[in-house]
Chains A and B, each alone.
Chain A
Amino acid sequence: MRRDLEAIWMVARREFLDQFRDWRIVVPMLLLVTLFPFIADDTTRQAVNFMNRFGGSLILDHLVPFVVLVIGFFPLSFTLVVALESFVGEKERGTIEPLLSSPLEDSHMYLGKLLVGIITPLVFSYGSIAIYLVLISRRPIEFPSVYMLALILLLTFAHAVLMVSSAIVISVQATTIRAANLLASFVVVPVAFLLQGETMLIFWGNEDVLWYAIAAVTLLSGLLVRLGLSHFRREYLLGREIDTLNFKLMWRKFKNRFVGEAHSLLEWYTKEILITFRQLKRPLMIVTGLALITGIVSYMWVVSNLPVYVNLTPEIKDEIRAQLSENITRLNTLGEVLPAHLIFFINARVTVVSLLLGLVSFGTLGVTIFIGNMGLIGGVLGAAELVGYSPLLTFAAGILPHGIFELTAVFLATAAMLRVGAQLVTPQPEKSLGETLLLSLADWTRVFLGLVLPLLAVASLVEIYVTPALIKLAFPYL
């Protein structure tokens, strides 16, 4: 352990030395750190005056934390410069090969560079925040609480890790600074959105919700660090022409993976899909476990907490039942309002969106959508119980008929999406990140086209033509 830390520090120390001797990094950093707090201070003063004149205490109360977040973020933009310079710059200048030829382990190099990428901008970022806080302390404005400041400092740290780890993933995919800079927009744009979201949380006024942002950014950063670590391998860094896209080769690989060794559709279903099932065993277990836990927790929460928020008097229950009764009478015309093909399209679209979200978050956002849906089912059953219906009957009549197909499809799609995310962050010897992604997508497409779409098609037909009839049979008194 000590030897590992020494090796990591050795790499980091050299990087620090290199950076602090480069005026192109140091001068803009110093300017940004020293000038921006003064500009921000003056802007705060003007904003305070404006809001005192026209009112706006809600904004005023959260103005300083917001400016602290922004001030902290600006120097962090240098994480990209530092990280891209440290990784791609070394590749471009050919300085990485002597390092790769040495006995240093891949993880030593990766973590040493990660450390530098995080620490340098973070020191400047915290320095900038400190200057701003000193300046603002002279003004007649509410100073943010220590708790709030601690949260923002943590969030700034999480941003730094997120940006550096993203930049490293990009760096592994590029051999020139130019290519890396072009790819860097994949970091800047999502982080800009993230910052806007966090700003909303700050102005929302509930400090505790910032913990969710910190947790989410930390989780994503952790996955990105793991992704970078799993793909920062000598073999990959030196062995491939990673700046070029060979579409023909990509298509061939995708097709070979998708088709497998099957020669007919029947063979594909009987042999290849079985292989896919075996591969999905573990993610399916995880997804099923999550569904059960979420469903049960949500059901229990609604049953025990909803009465606290809503006073379910017998009159209100009657009102709800009457409303439900009216809805059920309209079930006959459900097919006209929401035709089967539209349900099929919506469900298929959600599956694809879940994959896309899963891709940018290594499965986490896709799983979040899934958890949301399962929570909804649990919540509906809990609500049914509260208004006096059997949750089991509600499930059996209202969800299960089409759910057999739809839930199976959703479980399979989520498991396949989760597997794509897991594959990306798992070291794959002899495979590049792009290759891993391509093959994982081919696996996902197998599940999507071979199982999910047919199941969703059947589910949409059952949902329109069978489920309403079963609901009427189960609840004839409505």
Chain B
Amino acid sequence: MIETNDLSKQFNNDFWAVDGVTLDVQPGQILALLGQNGAGKTTTVRMLTALLSPTRGWARVAGYDVTRSPQEIRSAVGVLTEQHGLYMRMTGIEYLDFFGKVYGLSPGTRKMRSEYLLEYFGLAEAAKRRSGEYSKGMKQKLALARALIHDPSVLLLDEPTSAMDPESSRLVRDEIDRLRSSQRTIIICTHNLAEAEALADHIAIIYRGRILLNGTLDELKRAVLGPVEFEAKFAEAFDVGEMDLPEGATLLSRSATSLRFQIEAPQVVNPILVHALTSRSAPLVSFQEVPRKLEQVYLKTMAAAQGVSYAA
């Protein structure tokens, strides 16, 4: 697991790259760290891999303190760096074997893990080709395989699907999902909001080194965009007239064939509301939640942080 408290990093005694970051990611959870370039995501990850020491605060990764047990942390963590960092004159299999050695795996385990990962990521045929000849997506997959070579309990992935085609991205997402099910603790730094939405249990938005928001997707949506919205659609034009709405429901907009509500506690309010509509013989064909994307949450949060107005 990953725990941080007031984790901060100052450079040159005058610039706080990370300022008071507090996180808690349990085994089997994925945290997506979102933010602009230079927001402090990479510095945070580097502190979690014991590459940089915190100026203030503390962090524990896989049960080890980043300051006291850097070597143990590096052994327990798999890192996918911002740049893939491949040695272009090494073949795929040589590259994985080298990192297997670096992580202290036995020759048998190295061979088995390398072959498994190459096969899994569809690189088996290219295993004996130099990685310099790989496509961008293949390089990214090989880098991910490197991060997984020692079967780490904690994964820190910086843009894991960048430069990948949709099929490969899906493969990587599935692998990350599978790793979650095997109780890995995972942090993903990404600009791909759809990916974060699809994978993350928790999302943290970081801006100028500070965490602006941290929670589940639903918590974030509620905090930033307000209560959940539902839309009732009618088969034909229907005038619902003046209607007594149950407590916790607010009518946001209406058209001839639809009504949109904001609802505080859907599990309580929705049955009452649907009953009220059907009792008025409304030709109700659907009553469903209006999808709200992480993108809206992110853009609105960033707009607020920068003091500009947000246009939905």
Q: Which positions in A face B, CB cutoff 8 Å?
A: 10, 14, 17-18, 21-22, 93-105, 234-235, 238-241, 246, 249, 430
- In the bound assembly, the distance between CA atoms of A348 and B294 in angstroms comes to 68
Partner among A14, A93, A238, A240 whose Cβ is within 8 Å of the Cβ of B12: A240
Check B51 against A10 for contact (C-beta < 8 Å): no
Partner among A96, A102, A240, A430 whose Cβ is within 8 Å of the Cβ of B74: A102
Q: Which chain B positions have C-beta within 8 A of A95?
A: 85-87
In the complex, B153 has a CB within 8 A of chain A: no
Query: Which residue of chain A is the closest to B102 with respect to CB atoms?
Result: A102
Check B85 against A94 for contact (C-beta < 8 Å): yes
In the complex, B75 has a CB within 8 A of chain A: yes
Q: Which chain A positions have C-beta within 8 A of B71?
A: 103, 105
Check B51 against A101 for contact (C-beta < 8 Å): yes
Q: A421 → chain B, closest Cβ, in Å?
A: 25
What 3 A-B pairs are tightest by C-beta distance, nearest first? A94-B83, A101-B79, A21-B89
Q: Which positions in B face A, CB cutoff 8 Å?
A: 11-12, 14, 46, 49-53, 71, 74-75, 77, 79, 81-90, 94, 98-99, 101-104, 143, 146
- In the bound assembly, the distance between CA atoms of A234 and B98 in angstroms comes to 20
Q: B311 → chain A, closest Cβ, in Å?
A: 36
Q: Which chain B positions have C-beta within 8 A of A105?
A: 71
- In the bound assembly, the distance between CA atoms of A241 and B49 in angstroms comes to 20
- In the bound assembly, the distance between CA atoms of A104 and B70 in angstroms comes to 11
- In the bound assembly, the distance between CA atoms of A192 and B49 in angstroms comes to 43
Given contacts A95-B87, A97-B79, 4 further A-B contacts (CB under 8 A): A10-B101, A101-B77, A239-B11, A241-B11
Check A249 against B12 for contact (C-beta < 8 Å): yes
- In the bound assembly, the distance between CA atoms of A99 and B99 in angstroms comes to 8
- In the bound assembly, the distance between CA atoms of A51 and B104 in angstroms comes to 62
Q: Which chain B positions have C-beta within 8 A of A249?
A: 12, 14
A-B contact pairs, 24 of them (CB 8 A): A10-B102, A14-B87, A17-B90, A18-B87, A18-B89, A93-B83, A94-B81, A94-B85, A97-B79, A97-B83, A97-B85, A98-B79, A99-B102, A101-B49, A103-B71, A103-B74, A104-B102, A105-B71, A234-B50, A234-B52, A235-B52, A235-B53, A241-B11, A249-B12
Max chain B CB contacts within 10 Å: which of A94, A96, A101, A234?
A: A101
Check A101 against B74 for contact (C-beta < 8 Å): yes
Max chain B CB contacts within 10 Å: which of A22, A96, A97, A240?
A: A97
Check A103 against B89 for contact (C-beta < 8 Å): no
- In the bound assembly, the distance between CA atoms of A104 and B11 in angstroms comes to 25
- In the bound assembly, the distance between CA atoms of A21 and B130 in angstroms comes to 11
Q: B17 → chain A, closest Cβ, in Å?
A: 9
- In the bound assembly, the distance between CA atoms of A22 and B50 in angstroms comes to 33
Q: B188 → chain A, closest Cβ, in Å?
A: 16
Q: Which chain B positions have C-beta within 8 A of A430?
A: 53
Check B51 against A238 for contact (C-beta < 8 Å): yes
Q: Which chain B positions have C-beta within 8 A of A94?
A: 81-85
Q: B42 → chain A, closest Cβ, in Å?
A: 9
Q: B46 → chain A, closest Cβ, in Å?
A: 6
Q: B49 → chain A, closest Cβ, in Å?
A: 5
Q: Which chain B positions have C-beta within 8 A of A103?
A: 71, 74-75, 102-104
Q: B273 → chain A, closest Cβ, in Å?
A: 53
